[in-house]
Structure 1
Amino acid sequence: MPDAYQDCLDYLYSRLNYEREGMPKGLADLRLGRMRRLMARLGDPQQGLRIVHVAGTKGKGSTAVMMAAALTASGVSTGLYTSPHLNRLEERYLIDGRPVPPDALVALVDEVRGVVDEMEADERCSRRFGATFFEITTAAALLHFARRQVGAVVLEVGMGGRLDSTNVVRPLVSIVTSIALDHTRQLGDTLGAIAGEKAGVFKRGTPAVSGVQEREPREAIRRVARQRRCLLREIDVDFRYEDFQPVPPLERPTPGRAVVRTWRTDWGMLDVPLLGPHQAHNMTVALAGLDCLAEADASLAVERSAVVRGFAGLEWPARVEVMGARPWLVVDGAHNVASAIALADALRINFPKVPRTLVFGTTREKDVEGQLRALLPLFETRIATRYVHNPRAVMPEEVAETAEAIDGRPMIIAPDPEEALATARKLTGAEGLICVTGSLFLAAEVRAIVLGRRPTSAVGPASA
């Protein structure tokens, strides 16, 4: 089995992999035709699935995991497909919170691989220009959920929406959680242009939920919804929330609470299951999505009691994840300015006021200065590092130079995550806090160190 598993990984990572190599410069290289042909050859397993399709610049993973947890708690067998994985490929394929077993994953990929080989032979296409890593892993997920006859699937978009490989599905509900500037070379350099790409997951006559609050992207989403005759439910119009953050002084990381009301349900006061004030927004979008789903299919209606059960103890790795105490160790995959701001707010509001150490490493083509401007004021000690299992890392010396240009203070240089974490622990007292952030690549490698695991080869998130 170990040889078969490694062969499975080697095959996948031999394919064109935007997660590792970076996205193309524009959308011209992205097409849905090949993905549609692949799914047709597999028998279009997605057509029998009841799907919620979740897009957005940030918050889409958190919203998806909350919806899946509530559906599972209500007694519905629920598949959850997210990307990227952090340490094991199996993390992308969850049913009721449990990842696909390695042997089942190998069998799935082998089956899809055979179909891909036939398709590429028929189309006289080389492997380099054939089905991509993400197309194959997405096809395997849809096949897996269909074979397991799950009652519902929550499907997270990889990048964008309109041309994302997941957009071959016909969902019961489409969701756009938020819009911010990210992947501007591929999606556009305005919020309106990006919103138009994200709203590309809307299907004609299918209800949609939007958590977007800014005027320009909201108008773009409304325009797409009108064109496709979608019943659009919007935050601050059809549903809203009032959040209540923990009252300082805090002795430990403490989530907030929120009162949520939609056009259909008064959900009342709920504990926000994940840390950070931004998670109240994500929880509200998730609950609106559940209400929209209940109207689309009454058998998928979720009661408040199931939401409470599903949210209790919910974990979402590398999203303001607390991995240790004395000192507190927080690992977060914030990879753009919006995510860095959300992390900074979480550290200010949901954590004790203690001395803090930042461990930061990021990815080429990201707004490194913008990320650092959001984070640096919160930290007395700052360490620049890089992840090592992916070639897209920014060198720590470059990160340190950018930081010093911002506030004149130097950063400590650590050549790799292991040394960075060891240095942070040496310099941070037991009552302090260490935060590792800047990229999901870095978060994955630090999590592997903390958990004593080795990540699968060539791990690499598309949005890291």
Structure 2
Amino acid sequence: MSQPLDTYEQAIEFLFGRINYERTQPDAYSTADFKLDRMRHLLEAAGNPHQQLPAVHVAGTKGKGSTCAMLASLLRAAGKRTGLYISPHLVRFEERMTVDGVSPSPTELVALVNRLLGPIAEMDRSPVRMHPTYFEIATVLAWRYFLDRQADVAVLETGLGGRLDSTNLCHPWVTVITNVSRDHTHILGSTVREIAFEKAGIMKPGVPCVSGCLHVDARQVMLDVAAERGVPLWQLERDVHWRWQDRERRMIAVDTPARSWSELPVTLRGEHQAANTALVVAAADCLSTRDVPLSPETVRAGLQAVHWPARIEVVGESPTVILDAAHNWESTRALLQTLSTDFRARRKLLIFACSRDKDHRGLLRQLTPHFDSLIFTRFQDNPRSVSPDELGSFVETISEIRAHRAADPYSAWKLARRLAHADDLIVITGSLFLVAELRELVLETCRPGIDSPPVPTPETPSHAVP
């Protein structure tokens, strides 16, 4: 039996000492490293918590986190105690798992980890590579926490892909697949069709699925997999339609095969969030047979309560400062579209860092023409960051805009503040890891001018979603 952990710091050190593909160089692992056998074994040792709690399961390339936040808020508004599992976290590990907005306290987290130490040690001793990974352990901890807190349902965001993701052993009421584009190509495949197949892996026989895929290849994959597995499938722009009713007030109408909705608030910024809202409302219709009382008033209240940090989040004024975790083509396109329609500035400054497994050259080709000044840096808490020199050197081959280099995010922020005037716009993007390292600092600097709620503490119930 492993020695019990006494402190929160010991629990975090234990977790971060596991194999962690969020922090591993992409060439150090492949699809063969993602196997559900380890997860099944660990869940069985933990009492199979996933079999005791229904789920709403969400996959996709762009918007899955926002969609999870909206779904959790709707279920809470309907009176369901709702677990929410997301990844990665912004500041604290325990932000990944909440029940009605409350994360585990340090004491609870230590107790949760201690309950798994024995099974993990036993699996580590197995001669057939059964070492549970960081994400697998985190997922089991979340399910155990949800049961401890007597959750009625869990909203689960996939970590990577879907077919082989640790969350894919859940028992869903409904599955949701948001828009699909190229990302994690070294694992999921180099084409939209291949990536869509991995995302479609969360479909379960007889369980309704709502898909927001717009690419023709991705849509066909959804149809093929749904037909093969006997899945009732609603597709955006075929079965689910939305339209603006009032752009200024950000109200939309949504039509699904079940009913028509009107005056629905789109709380999160960006046109793409209107489409995500439509998917959420369609999923709500699919839940109508599951004793989830989602009246129009309940849905409106749930949507209005949503807050999702680091997604086109305005955290400062004079100059305007925006944090956004865009790290792939589709999310960057959505960011640029929102900047062009919702924000006016004399000059636009970009603070950018990126993980090596992302298409940083493609992202910079998208971003560079829309900014007047560029500051490249690297995040400190993850070894996968591309160096500022490499980013700057590439941009100098495609643009005449001066590329500043900063050794760390703090230095990049200080430089941006020095360069920016009150009527300028500072955008911090490229990676959630960059945004996570800068968010608290930026909020502290800008707090007098903006009221942006912090990520909730474990002891503070809140509609804010970490």
1:398 paired to 2:390? yes
The question of whether the paired residues in 2 share the 8 Å contact of 1:26 and 1:186 is answered with: yes
Q: Deviations over 1:151-177 (max 9, x none)?
A: 111100000000001111121111111
- Report what 1:175 is aligned to: 176
Q: Deviations over 1:359-407 (max 9, x none)?
A: 1111113211211122222221211111111111111111111222222
The question of whether the paired residues in 2 share the 8 Å contact of 1:355 and 1:380 is answered with: yes
Distance 1:70 1:174, change over 3 A: same
Q: Could you tell me the TM-score, scaled by structure 1's length?
A: 0.91
Q: Deviations over 1:268-311 (max 9, x none)?
A: 1322110111111111111111111223x1x1131221222222
The question of whether the paired residues in 2 share the 8 Å contact of 1:246 and 1:350 is answered with: no
- Report what 2:16 is aligned to: 13
Q: Could you tell me the TM-score, scaled by structure 2's length?
A: 0.91
The question of whether the paired residues in 1 share the 8 Å contact of 2:6 and 2:110 is answered with: no
- Report what 1:55 is aligned to: 59
1:258 paired to 2:247? no
Which residues of structure 1 form unaligned runs of 5+?
A: 248-254, 455-464
Deviation at 1:82, TM superposition (A): 0.3
Counterpart residue identity of residue 330, structure 1? I
- Report what 2:31 is aligned to: 27
SS, match of residue 159 in structure 1: coil
The question of whether the paired residues in 1 share the 8 Å contact of 2:378 and 2:386 is answered with: yes
**Within 1, Cα distance between the matches of 2:279 and 2:190?**
25
SS, match of residue 274 in structure 1: coil
- Report what 1:118 is aligned to: 122
Alignment map for 1:166-315 (pairs within 5 Å): 166-243=167-244, 246=247, 256-295=250-289, 297=290, 299-315=291-307
Q: Deviations over 1:22-67 (max 9, x none)?
A: 4554312211011001111111111121200000011111111001
The question of whether the paired residues in 2 share the 8 Å contact of 1:256 and 1:277 is answered with: no
- Determine what percentage of the aligned residue pairs are the same residue: 42
The question of whether the paired residues in 2 share the 8 Å contact of 1:384 and 1:399 is answered with: yes
The question of whether the paired residues in 2 share the 8 Å contact of 1:258 and 1:269 is answered with: yes
Distance 1:195 1:136, change over 3 A: same
- Report what 1:422 is aligned to: 414
Determine which of 327, 335, 357 is the counterpart of 1:343: 335
**Within 1, Cα distance between the matches of 2:443 and 2:113?**
27
**Within 2, Cα distance between the matches of 1:365 and 1:180?**
15
Deviates more, 1:204-213 or 1:347-356: 347-356
Deviation at 1:227, TM superposition (A): 1.1
Counterpart residue identity of residue 98, structure 1? V
- Report what 2:89 is aligned to: 85
**Within 2, Cα distance between the matches of 1:42 and 1:324?**
44
**Within 1, Cα distance between the matches of 2:54 and 2:374?**
46
Distance 1:330 1:3, change over 3 A: farther
- Work out the number of aligned pairs and report it: 441
Q: Deviations over 1:67-112 (max 9, x none)?
A: 1011111211111100000111111011112222222122112212
- Report what 1:318 is aligned to: 310
The question of whether the paired residues in 2 share the 8 Å contact of 1:277 and 1:349 is answered with: no
- Report what 1:361 is aligned to: 353
SS, match of residue 83 in structure 1: coil
Distance 1:19 1:149, change over 3 A: same
